[in-house]
Amino acid sequence: MAVQTAPANGIELAYEAFGQPSARPLVLIMGLGAQMIAWPEEVCTALVERGFFVVRFDNRDAGLSTHLHDAPAPDLRAILSGDTSSVPYALEDMADDVAGLLDALGIASAHVVGVSLGGMIAQTVATRHPDRVRSLTSIMAAPWLELDEGGVAMLSAEPAGTREEAVERTVQLFRLVGSPGYPLDEARIADIAGQSYDRAYDPAGSVRQRLAVHVSGDRTEALRSLRMPTIVVHGEADPLVPVAGGKATAEAIPDAELLILPGMGHDLPRELGPTIIDAITRTADRAGDS
């Protein structure tokens, strides 16, 4: 389970693999500013027990993967008015990173699971590289996500000055967006936030990731072309990406299953782990490669 790096789409991606390479390959894609360690090891292990070879990785501009430190600072006001020339990459590039990682690992196709931004990347992998995706699990994601004045204000916020402040901000965020129907595991959130700070603290990278979503536009029409087994999982109480986004995703993808979870917000409560693992597994089983 040691962290390794692989060349992908002109950058380096850090990844970890769990299970036997001969098992069904499954790739986990994490969300905005988050690192692969936000995928709990117990989830990876549970998926291995379901017959998967699990790969989790750091997206570009996160964790131990390549950070685009030399990219010019984005002009947020210009972007809001329609001039996106200062945005260095789009979701399409992040999706091509995933395809490049599969190439580096010698994996022709995989079951692809993404959460939040990772769900939008997973959707884009499926539309750009449908032959590489055996099944798709899109969790708390939408076919589009616009940037508004409030979003610009968040992206313009001063970064945390210390590790302690960065951890506290993360805990405060999850108090706002977490699942009202489940207890918030603040100790675990703080632990992951601290580990993430120690691995790589890069608020500017998170801004670039968020802008990649904005410039990528609406995937609805592209999603209509998908034919792989798909499940869309969304929290009924998600305040960050409202449940309407999950419904729109499922409506766009032919024969997609929609799983709306009451009491779930914009996080992955440990209590819902078995439900989500079951959803991933039954969707993969529909691909017929078990």
The ranges assigned to domains in the chain are 4-285
What rounded mean pLDDT belongs to the chain? 95
Token pair, residue 18, equals 């769990």
3-state secondary structure at position 157 = coil
Architecture of the structural domain at 4-285: 3-Layer(aba) Sandwich (3.40)
- Give the pLDDT of residue 1: 64
> What is the DSSP code (8-state) at residue 6?
E
- Give the pLDDT of residue 88: 96
Mean pLDDT score, 110-124:
98
Residue 71 CA to its chain's centroid (Å): 22
* Closest residue by Cα to residue 133 from 145, 117, 144, 121: 121
For the stretch 168-175, contacts whose Cβ atoms lie closer than 8 Å and that sit 24 or more positions apart, written own/partner, are: 174/267
Instruction: Give the span between the Cα atoms of 165 and 50, in whole angstroms.
Output: 39
pLDDT above 90 (res 154): no
Please report, rounded to a whole number, the percentage of residues in the chain having pLDDT higher than 70. 99
pLDDT band at 290 (very low <50, low <70, confident <90, very high): low
Mean pLDDT score, 59-66:
98
β-bridge pairing 110-115 and 230-235: unpaired
> What is the DSSP code (8-state) at residue 80?
H
pLDDT above 70 (res 121): yes
pLDDT band at 155 (very low <50, low <70, confident <90, very high): confident
Rounded to two decimals, the pTM is 0.97
Where does residue 175 rank: exposed (0-12), middle (13-18), buried (19+ CB within 10 A)? exposed
Alpha-carbon Rg for the chain in angstroms: 18
> What is the DSSP code (8-state) at residue 74?
P
